[in-house]
Amino acid sequence: MFLPENIDLAHSEKYRLSIRLSPDGFSFYFNSPSDPDIFHFQKTNLSNKLTYSENIKKIIFDQGFFTYPFNKTTVVIVSPHYTLVPKQFFDARQNRDIIDFNFQNLSGTSLHDSSESQEYSIVYNMDEEVHSFLSRHLSNPEFKHHTSSLLHFFNTYEKTIGNKQCFADFHDGYVSMFCYFEDRLQSAVTFPANNMPDTTYYIASIWEKLLMDQTKDYLYLCGEIDSHLTVVNDLKRLINNVERVELKPKANITVEQIRMLPTDVITALCE
């Protein structure tokens, strides 16, 4: 597996490793908190001859460097199965009950992802075998949900007083959508985006249910926009203010990388 010359894993403690697990893919990247020139992202396709957990195990074993002691090791889970719970009502002992209440017949292990800068915890589900394997073989990994860095970024995105804003991120065959009135989160949901008319309908329905104004309020788009131009053009006919999210990562990455990388990767680099 190719790594650039400026990454020397003999000194792994200098780098942060982030592994991103989507329903049908595995990717990872290295970056450095002290050197913005250090960044490398790589994606690996999964074999249809192996189970999901077998694929993950094979990648980790084939590429021995994943087990090195890094400055920080993070595993990001991309999944539509999550719920936000206000922190004043959150109890980690109820993770499983929360998942079972919101999703039927969902097996796996229930986790939570909390941030000091947010007012809620993200309760989500993960394949139990994969979680157990990575917990044993990675160096002190931190597990996070893909919405964590998105919410942190959108929470601090410039808001217009008196207006509502929706952020729609296209990724991994999904749309993750977060809606705000000024600085207050009103809705957070991830849904499939495999059918163009349905995707337009779902976004417009959320807009309508939150009583958003088609002439005054804002829809911000990010992620795989070029693959969903039909949806984007339909939304522009419905909503006056449709704009792209401005992303300014602290790592030195190219305009092409910003266009191609998952938004949750870029927003993590903005922190």
Its sign, for the CA torsion 159, 164, 170, 175, is: positive
pTM: 0.94
Confidence check: pLDDT of 140 > 60 = yes
List helix spans (H) across the chain.
52-62, 95-102, 128-137, 147-155, 196-209, 229-238, 255-260, 263-270
In the chain, list all ranges with CATH 3.30.420.260.
Answer: 158-244
Q: What is the pLDDT of residues 215-260, one digit of tens each?
A: 999 999 999 999 999 999 999 999 999 999 999 999 999 988 998 9
Q: Which pLDDT does position 235 carry in this prediction? A: 96
Question: Helix (H, G, I), strand (E, B), or coil: what is residue 16?
Answer: strand
Confidence check: pLDDT of 28 > 70 = yes
> For residue 59, how many other CB atoms are within 10 A of its CB?
17
CATH dotted code for 158-244: 3.30.420.260
In the chain, list all ranges with CATH 3.30.420.250.
Answer: 1-145
Q: Which CATH class is domain 1-145?
A: alpha beta
